[in-house]
Amino acid sequence: MVKQHFLSLALAFMAAVSCIGGGQQPASEEQAVVPENYQSANPENMQQVRDFLHQAGCYFLATVDGDQPQVRPFGTAEIIEGKLYIQSGHVKNVAKQIAANPKVAICAYNAQDGRWLRITATLQEDPRVEIKKAMLDANPGLRSLYDENDDNTAVYFLKDAHATISSFTAPPVEIEF
């Protein structure tokens, strides 16, 4: 169990470093190579990412606070109106960090099959009450802390998302949505 949590934290740290510019980017779009196993944006691929996050039970969201990466556990991930949403609270530091820099990284590890997921994306807040309600209805345990009509509940959808599902036994699967 400790080993699994250590691996999750290590992968989250790598995602955080990637989020603040540690990863190498192609010099130009002409040099960018589309991986052989690339999966384009479609509802099934987004569902695959959402299902992975649910199966992992917990994922780690990395933001930037000034020049310092910050990583914390999250649990919400729902597809609503064709977008993958996560949820937090406006009073939390994470919401302030997202407001200052909406680029994030997400990392999750599925101990049952030894696969891990890394996502880079830009979060876009959606202030609509119906989206907040849908998120809270899908995660009723949060109702003791949040309400769709309060000023604290914050829901964000992932845009310009790039996900990679990896393991030690199979080639990585690249997904964009």
What is the maximal distance between C-alpha atoms in the chain?
50
Q: What is the pLDDT of residue 38?
A: 43
2-21 mean pLDDT: 41
Asked if the 2-19+38-176 domain carries CATH number 2.30.110.10, the reply is yes
**Could you report the per-residue pLDDT of 105-146, keeping only the tens digit for each?**
999 999 999 999 999 999 999 999 999 999 999 999 999 999
**Could you report the per-residue pLDDT of 157-167, keeping only the tens digit for each?**
999 999 999 99
Closest CA to 43 of 79, 77, 78: 79
How far, in Å, CA of 91 to CA of 20, rounded?
23
E-assigned strand segments in the chain? 38-39, 59-65, 68-74, 78-80, 83-89, 103-110, 115-125, 153-166, 173-176
Q: How many CB atoms lie within 10 A of CB 61?
A: 26
Owner of token pair 């699967």: 173
Contacts (Cβ under 8 Å, ≥6 apart) of 42? 177
How far, in Å, CA of 112 to CA of 24, rounded?
31
Q: pLDDT class for 43, splitting at 50, 70, 90?
A: confident
Q: pLDDT class for 42, splitting at 50, 70, 90?
A: confident
